[in-house]
C-alpha cells in the first residue's frame, strides 16, 4: 500500500513541485505524475513499508520501491555489473531495464541494483504486487496462450544464453506473466551453461502436467525431443512450436479496425509526415481482405521530407498489399519478415535514387522514418526504421516494442552506457539510420513478430506524439479504454493528436491505431503429436533467423547488404534482410557486419545539436580496405575459436581466445573469387588469463586466422577508436572509456 503522506515531485525539470502521492497531475504545472515502481535486485532493501531511502526511494515492499523524484538522474551502477541488461535492451518486452542503484552504506551494505519496467501489477486501490508466476498462471491459460508462452521462452533462450543468463529461464521464481507476455523479474547468471536438455526437463516438470488436453501430447513430444537431445538448437524448437500455433490458431477468429490521423501541428508550415491508410480513413477487416498501417516522419524540411515520406508510403503499401494476397495458412513467417524488409529497402532505394537524381548531398538529402503494422491471422508483424515507434497496449499494460535507431539506444545495446545516462549525452537523439539517406547497403530495418491471443491495440506514431513521454502518460486514459470497449479507435486517435498538439506542439503529428479483437475456443480434437515431427524440421538454419519480437534489434542493425549483390536476385544471391533461407548468405552477412563494426569513428568538429531532437542521420562509414585494415582492433567479449593457418579442413585443430583479449586485424582475403566468406588475419595484442590450458599457451604477437562469418556482434567490441598500431602488442585498451561520436547540427524534424 502506498504511503499517502509521501511526496511525489513533478518530473518537469522547470517545475519539480512536491505533490501528494495520490495525485495524478502536478498541482502547479499540470504535468502528469508518473509513478515509477522499481524492482530491487537480490535481497531487496532493508526498511519498513513507507520509509524513504536515499531521500527519494519510497519502500513499497521489501523488493519494490517508488522513485519520488523521477526528474533527477539516479546513481549509475558499474557497467560491468549490468552489461547483460544493457545488451538485452531489445528484449525489454521480457527483461527489465537498468534504472540505477540505491547506494549502500559501505561493505556491509553494498549498492542495490534498481530495475525499471519490472513485471509489477498496480491495483485500483494503489496496491502494487508482482505479476503471477508462469507456473501458477499456466493451468488457467488457454492452449493457445500456453503454446505462446513456450514460444516466447524458446526465442529468449539463445540471446540470454549468449549473455550468460539463460539460467533465468529455468527459475520459476523469476518467470512471470503479464497477460500473454512472459516477463522476467531479474537476470540470473549461469553457474554452469545450461543446455536445451535442461530446458526440456524443466518444461516436463513444470508445465506438462497442466498442459491443456488439446496440446498435451504435442508438448510431451517436444519435451521428449529436448530431453533426448534431438532438438539441436532453438531454431528447430521454434519451428516446431510455430507449427503447433498454426494448428491451434485455426480455433481463433479475429476482427481488426484501423484508423489514422496526421496533423501539421501548431509550429510547422508544412506536414512532412505521411500515413497509410490516408488520414481520417477507417479500415475494417473483415469485410476488407487486408489490413495494414504505416506511419512515416519525413526528414529534410523544405528540402523534401514530405516527398520522402509520401514515396515511402506509396512504395511500401504497393509491395505489402501483394504479400497479403497469399492465404494466411500458406504464409511462412520467416519469408514474410524478409519481405517486409525488402519493402523497406525498395522504399529506401526509391528515395535515395530521387536524392541522387537531384544531386542532393549530406544534410540536403531527404529521408524518412518508418513504422508499419501488418496483422495476419493470430500474428502481428511490425517493421521499423528510425525513431517512429510502435506500442502494444492490452488489458494488463503498455509496452514500447520498437527500439529507436538513435545514438543513445545504440550505446546501450553495445553495453557502453545505461539508457538514462546515454540520453543525456550530446547528439543522443541523432538517428543512425532512416530511409533514403544512403543506399540499401547501409540500411538495416528491424522486423518483428508477435503472437496475439488477447484483445490488443497497437499504436504507431511519429515523435510528434511520443516525445516527452506523452504515450507513457496517456495510454491508460486514452488508449486502453478501447480494449475494454469504453471508447473507439476514431475517438482515441483524435484525442491523441489533440494531446500532441497542445502539450508537445513542436512537430508534425501522425497516429495510427490497430485494434485487434479475438475469440478463441478450445479445440475439441487434440493436436496431433505428429505435428512435432522432428524429421520434418531442418537442422541447418541461419543463426540470425526470424526477426521476431524476441530477437535483438542489434543483430538486425548489423546486417549489411554487399554492394555487388542486387536485391532482385534469386534467394542465394539476395541481401540477408531479403531472405533467411540461405546458409550461404549468412556468411556474407557475417563478413559485412564484421567489417562494418571494425570501422574507425570519424567525429565531426561541429558542436552537437541542441534542439528538441536532432534528426540528422549519421552517414555510413566506409568499409575497411587494404589501406586501413592494419589499424583495426577488436576486443573479444565472448570466447571464439581461431585457426593458426588459413585452412579449416574437417577436424582441424583450433585454439580458443578468451574473453577480454585484444586483437589487431592485419589482413582480409576472400575465400574463392566470388565467395561470401573470407579469412581475417589477426595478431594478438593481449590475452587475459583463463582456466583453459589451450588459452594459456597463446602469446602477444602471435598471429591467427578466423573466418569472417564466425565474427558476430556477440563476439567482439570495436576498440579501434582508442588504440593505435604502435600499442599492439603491448596494451589492453580500457574499453569502458568509449564515448559516442558527436554529430553536427541537424535540421529539426
**DSSP per residue over 169-216, as a string?**
GG-TTTEEEETTEEEESS----SS---HHHHHHHHHHHTGGG--TTTH
Query: Hey, CA dihedral for 542, 548, 554, 558, is it positive or negative?
Result: positive
Question: Which grid coordinates are listed for 98?
Answer: 537498468
d(CA 235, CA 140): 28
Pair 600, 698 in one domain? yes
What is the number of domains present in the chain?
4
Range with top average pLDDT, 390-404, 429-443, 727-741:
390-404
Q: Can you give the pLDDT at residue 325?
A: 73
d(CA 28, CA 54): 25
Is 748 part of a structural domain of the chain?
A: no
Pair 320, 466 in one domain? yes
Is 460 part of a structural domain of the chain?
A: yes
Q: Can you give the pLDDT at residue 726?
A: 55
The band of 638, judged by pLDDT with boundaries at 50, 70 and 90, is: low
Is 575 part of a structural domain of the chain?
A: no
User: Residue with C-alpha cell 538529402?
Assistant: 365
- pLDDT tens, position by position, 346-357: 999 999 999 999
Domain edge (last residue) among 231, 247, 282? 231
What is the pLDDT averaged over residues 194-211?
A: 97
Pair 318, 215 in one domain? no
What is the pLDDT averaged over residues 152-166?
A: 97
Q: Which residue has the higher pLDDT, 182 or 747?
A: 182
3 state SS for 634-664: EEECCCEEEECCCCCCCCCCCEEECCCCEEE
Q: Can you give the pLDDT at residue 536?
A: 73
Q: Which residue has the higher pLDDT, 36 or 544?
A: 36
Pair 487, 599 in one domain? no
Pair 142, 62 in one domain? no
Is 96 part of a structural domain of the chain?
A: yes
Q: Are 164 and 194 spatial neighbours (Cβ–Cβ below 8 Å)? A: no
**DSSP per residue over 413-427, as a string?**
HTTSS-HHHHTTSTT
d(CA 487, CA 478): 8
Q: Can you give the pLDDT at residue 721?
A: 47
- CB-neighbour burial class of residue 52 (10 A; exposed 0-12, middle 13-18, buried 19+): middle
Range with top average pLDDT, 530-534, 627-631, 647-651, 726-730:
530-534
Q: Report the chain's terminal Cα–Cα distance, integer Å.
A: 43
Question: Which grid coordinates are listed for 341?
Answer: 524488409
Q: Can you give the pLDDT at residue 644?
A: 67
Pair 517, 621 in one domain? no
Share of the chain above pLDDT 70, in %: 75
CA nearest 147: which of 227, 255, 247? 247
The band of 622, judged by pLDDT with boundaries at 50, 70 and 90, is: very low
- Enter the DSSP assignment of 628: T
Residue 289: CB atoms within 10 A of its CB come to 9
Does the pLDDT at position 728 exceed 70? no
Pair 38, 81 in one domain? yes
Q: Can you give the pLDDT at residue 562?
A: 30
Q: Can you give the pLDDT at residue 731?
A: 41
Pair 375, 437 in one domain? yes
Pair 400, 436 in one domain? yes
Domain edge (last residue) among 215, 231, 247? 231
Beta-bridge mates of residue 456 = 516
- pLDDT tens, position by position, 120-129: 998 877 789 9
Does the pLDDT at position 333 exceed 70? yes
Q: Can you give the pLDDT at residue 592?
A: 45
Pair 516, 649 in one domain? no
**Beta strand 655-657 with 632-636: parallel, antiparallel or unpaired?**
unpaired
Domain edge (last residue) among 117, 142, 164? 117
d(CA 299, CA 615): 7
Is 388 part of a structural domain of the chain?
A: yes
d(CA 679, CA 706): 6
Is 335 part of a structural domain of the chain?
A: yes
- pLDDT tens, position by position, 499-544: 999 999 999 999 999 999 999 999 999 998 788 788 777 664 443 3
- pLDDT tens, position by position, 342-381: 999 999 999 999 999 999 988 889 999 999 999 999 999 9
Q: Are 45 and 94 spatial neighbours (Cβ–Cβ below 8 Å)? A: no
CATH of the domain at 385: 3.60.40.10
Least confident residue range of 176-185, 328-337, 480-489: 328-337
Least confident residue range of 137-141, 190-194, 626-630: 626-630
The band of 46, judged by pLDDT with boundaries at 50, 70 and 90, is: confident
Is 518 part of a structural domain of the chain?
A: yes
Pair 311, 442 in one domain? yes
Host domain of residue 410: 255-417+429-522+536-548
User: Residue with C-alpha cell 545539436?
Assistant: 609
Pair 224, 108 in one domain? no
Is 422 part of a structural domain of the chain?
A: no
d(CA 376, CA 130): 33
Least confident residue range of 420-434, 465-479, 490-504, 669-683: 669-683
Amino acid at each position: 500500500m502506498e504511503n499517502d503522506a509521501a511526496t511525489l515531485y513533478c518530473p518537469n525539470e522547470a517545475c519539480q513541485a512536491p505533490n501528494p502521492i495520490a495525485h495524478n497531475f502536478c498541482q502547479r504545472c499540470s504535468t502528469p505524475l508518473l509513478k515509477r515502481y522499481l524492482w530491487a535486485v537480490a535481497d531487496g532493501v532493508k526498511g519498513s513499508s513507507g520509509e524513504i531511502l536515499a531521500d527519494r526511494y519510497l519502500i513499497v515492499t521489501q523488493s519494490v520501491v517508488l522513485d519520488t523524484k523521477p526528474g533527477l538522474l539516479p546513481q549509475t551502477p558499474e557497467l560491468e555489473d549490468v552489461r547483460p541488461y544493457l545488451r538485452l535492451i531489445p528484449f525489454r518486452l521480457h527483461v527489465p531495464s537498468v534504472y540505477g542503484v540505491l547506494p549502500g552504506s559501505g561493505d556491509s551494505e553494498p549498492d542495490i541494483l534498481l530495475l525499471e519496467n519490472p513485471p509489477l501489477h498496480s491495483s485500483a486501490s494503489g496496491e502494487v504486487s508482482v505479476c503471477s508466476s508462469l507456473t501458477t498462471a499456466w493451468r488457467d491459460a488457454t492452449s493457445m496462450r500456453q503454446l505462446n508462452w513456450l514460444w516466447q521462452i524458446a526465442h529468449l533462450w539463445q540471446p540470454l544464453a549468449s549473455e550468460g543468463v539463460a539460467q533465468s529461464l529455468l527459475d520459476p521464481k523469476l518467470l512471470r506473466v503479464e497477460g500473454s507476455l512472459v516477463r522476467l523479474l531479474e537476470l540470473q547468471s549461469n553457474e554452469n551453461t545450461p543446455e536445451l536438455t535442461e530446458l526440456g526437463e524443466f518444461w516436463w516438470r513444470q508445465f506438462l502436467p497442466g498442459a491443456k488436453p488439446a496440446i498435451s501430447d504435442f508438448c510431451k513430444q517436444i519435451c521428449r525431443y529436448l530431453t533426448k537431445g534431438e532438438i539441436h538448437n532453438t531454431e528447430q524448437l521454434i519451428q516446431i512450436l510455430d507449427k503447433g500455433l498454426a494448428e491451434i490458431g485455426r480455433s481463433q477468429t479475429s476482427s481488426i479496425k484501423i484508423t489514422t490521423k496526421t496533423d501539421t501541428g501548431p509550429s510547422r508550415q508544412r506536414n512532412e509526415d505521411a500515413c497509410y491508410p490516408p488520414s481520417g480513413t477507417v479500415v475494417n477487416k473483415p469485410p476488407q481482405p487486408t489490413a495494414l498501417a504505416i506511419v512515416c516522419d519525413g526528414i529534410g524540411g523544405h528540402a523534401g521530407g514530405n516527398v520522402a515520406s509520401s514515396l515511402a508510403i506509396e512504395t511500401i503499401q504497393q509491395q505489402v498489399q501483394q504479400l497479403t494476397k497469399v492465404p494466411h495458412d500458406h504464409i511462412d513467417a520467416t519469408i514474410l519478415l524478409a519481405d517486409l524488409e525488402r519493402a523497406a529497402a525498395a522504399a529506401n532505394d526509391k528515395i535515395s535514387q530521387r536524392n541522387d537524381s537531384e544531386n542532393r548531398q549530406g544534410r540536403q538529402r531527404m529521408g524518412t522514418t518508418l513504422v508499419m503494422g501488418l496483422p495476419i491471422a493470430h500474428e502481428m508483424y511490425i517493421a521499423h526504421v528510425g525513431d517512429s515507434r510502435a506500442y502494444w497496449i492490452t488489458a494488463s499494460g503498455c509496452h514500447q516494442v520498437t527500439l529507436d535507431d538513435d545514438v543513445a539506444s545504440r550505446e546501450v545495446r553495445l553495453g557502453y552506457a545505461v539508457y538514462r545516462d546515454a540520453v543525456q549525452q550530446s547528439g543522443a537523439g541523432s538517428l543512425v539510420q532512416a530511409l533514403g539517406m544512403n543506399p540499401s547497403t547501409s540500411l538495416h530495418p528491424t522486423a518483428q513478430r508477435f503472437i496475439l491471443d488477447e484483445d490488443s491495440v497497437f499504436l504507431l506514431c511519429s515523435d510528434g506524439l511520443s516525445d516527452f513521454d506523452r504515450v507513457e502518460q496517456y495510454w491508460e486514459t486514452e488508449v486502453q479504454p478501447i480494449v475494454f470497449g469504453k471508447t473507439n479507435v476514431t475517438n482515441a486517435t483524435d484525442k491523441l493528436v489533440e494531446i500532441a498538439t497542445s502539450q508537445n506542439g513542436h512537430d508534425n503529428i501522425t497516429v495510427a491505431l490497430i485494434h485487434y479483437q479475438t475469440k478463441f475456443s478450445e479445440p475439441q480434437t487434440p493436436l496431433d503429436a505428429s505435428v512435432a515431427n522432428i524429421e520434418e524440421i531442418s537442422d541447418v538454419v541461419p543463426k540470425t533467423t526470424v526477426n521476431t519480437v524476441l530477437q535483438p534489434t542489434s543483430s538486425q542493425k548489423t546486417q549489411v547488404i554487399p554492394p555487388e549483390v542486387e536485391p532482385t536476385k534469386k534467394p542465394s544471391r539476395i541481401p540477408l534482410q531479403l531472405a533467411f533461407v540461405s546458409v550461404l548468405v549468412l556468411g556474407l552477412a557475417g563478413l559485412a557486419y564484421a567489417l562494418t563494426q571494425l570501422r574507425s569513428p570519424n567525429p565531426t568538429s561541429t558542436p552537437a545539436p541542441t534542439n528538441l531532437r536532432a534528426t540528422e542521420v549519421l552517414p555510413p562509414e566506409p568499409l575497411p580496405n587494404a589501406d586501413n585494415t592494419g589499424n583495426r582492433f577488436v576486443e573479444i567479449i565472448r570466447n571464439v575459436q581461431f585457426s593458426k593457418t588459413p585452412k579449416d579442413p574437417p577436424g582441424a585443430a583450433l585454439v580458443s581466445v578468451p574473453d577480454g583479449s585484444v586483437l589487431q586485424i592485419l589482413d582480409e582475403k576472400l575465400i574463392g573469387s566470388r565467395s561470401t566468406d573470407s579469412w581475417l588475419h589477426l595478431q594478438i595484442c593481449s590475452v587475459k588469463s583463463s582456466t583453459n590450458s589451450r588459452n594459456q599457451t597463446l602469446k602477444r604477437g602471435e598471429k591467427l586466422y578466423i573466418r569472417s562469418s564466425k565474427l558476430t556482434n556477440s563476439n567482439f567490441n570495436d576498440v579501434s577508436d582508442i588504440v593505435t598500431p604502435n600499442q599492439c602488442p603491448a596494451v589492453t585498451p580500457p574499453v569502458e572509456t568509449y564515448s559516442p561520436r558527436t554529430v553536427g547540427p541537424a535540421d529539426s524534424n
